[in-house]
Amino acid sequence: MPLVVYALVFSGITALGVLVILLQKIRSGGGSPLFALASFAAGFAATFPAWFIERAVLPYTKWYTGPAGDALRAFCIAGLVEEGLKTGVLILLSTSRFFRRVSDGPALALAVGLGFGFSENIFFSLQNPLTLVLRNFTSVPLHVLALIVPGWCLGMSRFAYKPLIVPGFLIAVLLHGSYDFFLLLGGAYSILSFVLLGLSFFLAVLLFRSARKLDEKEGRLYRQQENHISAI
C-alpha cells in the first residue's frame, strides 16, 4: 500500500475521532454539522499557506543557533505564522449566521484546530511515518488547545462585548511557541512540552465551561424577559 494511504489513514485517527464526537454534540444542540465540517476543511486548507511561508522564512534563521535560534523559530515562525492563520480563519468563519453564542467560539476553534492538525500531520508523516503515533497525541491536541483560547476570546468579544481577540491570539502564540521551544531544546526540557499540553487541556475545559455558563445565563435572562413581557 502506498505511503500516502497510510499517512491519510493514521494521521487522522485522533482528529477524525474527535470530529465525529463534536458533530454529534453540535447536532444534538441544534447547531449545524455542515458548518462544523466547513470549519474543519478551512483549518485543513490553512496548513498550505503556513507550510509555504515557513519554508520561505526558515532559511533566513540558519545564522541563529542555540536557544536564541530555537526561540526565534518556535515563537516567531511556527507560533506566529500558524496561530495567525488559524485565528484569521476563526475570525472569517465567525461572520457566519451559525456563530450565535459565546460557546460557538471554542467549538469553532476545535473544528479548525482539528483540520489544521490533521493536514499538518500528513505533511510530516510523508517525511517520517514513525512520527505518526506521537503526533496524533501531541501535535494535533496542541493545535486544538492553543486555538481554543482565541476562540473563547472571539466569542466573548462578539457576545460579551469584551475586546479580547488580540490577547487571546498572543496567548495562543505563547502556548504554541513554548511547546515547540521545549521540544527543540530536547533532553529533559521535552517533558515540559507534555506538561504544557496537560495545563492547556485544563485551561480549555475551564474556557468551555465558562462559555456555557455565560450562554446559560443569557438564555435564562431571555426567558425571564419573555415571561415579563407576556405578563404585561
Look at residue 149 in the predicted model and tell me its pLDDT. 96
pLDDT of residue 118: 85
- The angle that helices 33-57 and 104-127 make with each other, rounded to 10 degrees, is 50
Distance in angstroms (rounded) separating the CA atoms of residues 129 and 122: 9
Could you give the number of structural domains in the chain? 1
How far is it, in rounded angstroms, from Cα 65 to Cα 48? Answer: 27
pLDDT at 78: 93
Q: pTM for this structure?
A: 0.86
Range(s) of the domain holding residue 48: 3-231
pLDDT of residue 137: 72
Task: Name the H helices within the chain.
Answer: 3-10, 13-28, 33-57, 66-71, 80-93, 104-127, 132-136, 139-159, 165-185, 190-231
Q: What is residue 181's predicted lDDT score, i.e. its pLDDT?
A: 95
What stretches in the chain show pLDDT beneath 50? 220-232
